[in-house]
Amino acid sequence: MRSLYRDNKKPENTSRAIANQTNTLQQGKSFPAVPLLQKISRISDTTTIQRVKSEPNNRHNYDYEYTYNGLKFFHRLDGKRTAKFAGPIVYTRAPRRPTPKVRYKRKTDAAGNLIAHSLGGPYNYPGNFVAMDKFINGAGGDWGKMEHYVRTKLKKKGAKGYMSAKPVYHSSKSHRPVQIIVTAHFNRSPFRKRWIIATP
């Protein structure tokens, strides 16, 4: 860098030197170019990523553990009916598989996954299924829309999740849920989503 001062000697009176520089500019004379230091802001991905659990906090409250495709799922019973089913979720493009038979189905019901096969849920574990109305379980129903939302989140690169489904029954003797409470955790925002889906 060229010095502002002749012979690289700083004048004794700094104020006078500054005044001389100002006069030079006012007279329209050339002024030594001084390089500008520009602050370069680095653009970074500010998306916060959180760690997602792989098992329930109260693991000891579950009755069974079932491993499918390397994922461990947790099953809690209330008598002979499913009280809760939970585990890690991942997007999978595996083909549809036949589902186990579910008792207490109506004519308009289907065997509904609590954690869908497309989300990594086991297709061959009876505790992952409940009787559910076909329309609600379909693509246009509330359950189908919830699954679509979760799938869309998991399709993103590096996405991870954890999901629990808790069937709610009308009475202690009922085996067909009237609603299901679903909680999904993701490693990217929104980090937690909750649905209460009626299954009349």
Domains contained in the chain, number? 1
Q: What average pLDDT does the chain have? A: 84
DSSP character string of 48-71:
-B----SS-TTGGG-SEEEEETTE
Residue 171 is predicted with a pLDDT of: 95
Residue 28 is predicted with a pLDDT of: 52
Residue 160, in any domain of the structure? yes
Q: What is the pTM of this model?
A: 0.76
Residue 152, in any domain of the structure? yes
Residue 94, in any domain of the structure? yes
Across the range 118-144, mean pLDDT stands at 96
Residue 68, in any domain of the structure? yes
Residue 186, helix vs strand vs coil: strand
**pLDDT tier at 139, thresholds 50, 70, 90:** very high
Q: What is the pLDDT of residues 14-44, one digit of tens each?
A: 445 444 444 444 455 554 554 444 433 333 3
Residue 164 is predicted with a pLDDT of: 98
In the numeric block, which tokens belong to residue 8? Answer: 């690289």
Residue 7, in any domain of the structure? no
Residue 33 is predicted with a pLDDT of: 52
The CATH number linked to 172 is 3.40.570.10
Does residue 174 carry a pLDDT above 70? yes
Residue 33, in any domain of the structure? no
DSSP character string of 86-122:
EEEE----PPP-PPPP-TT--TTEEEEESS-GGGT--
Q: What is the pLDDT of residues 36-90, one digit of tens each?
A: 444 333 333 446 889 999 999 999 999 999 999 999 999 999 999 999 999 999 9
Q: What is the domain extent for residue 179?
A: 59-198
Residue 47, in any domain of the structure? no
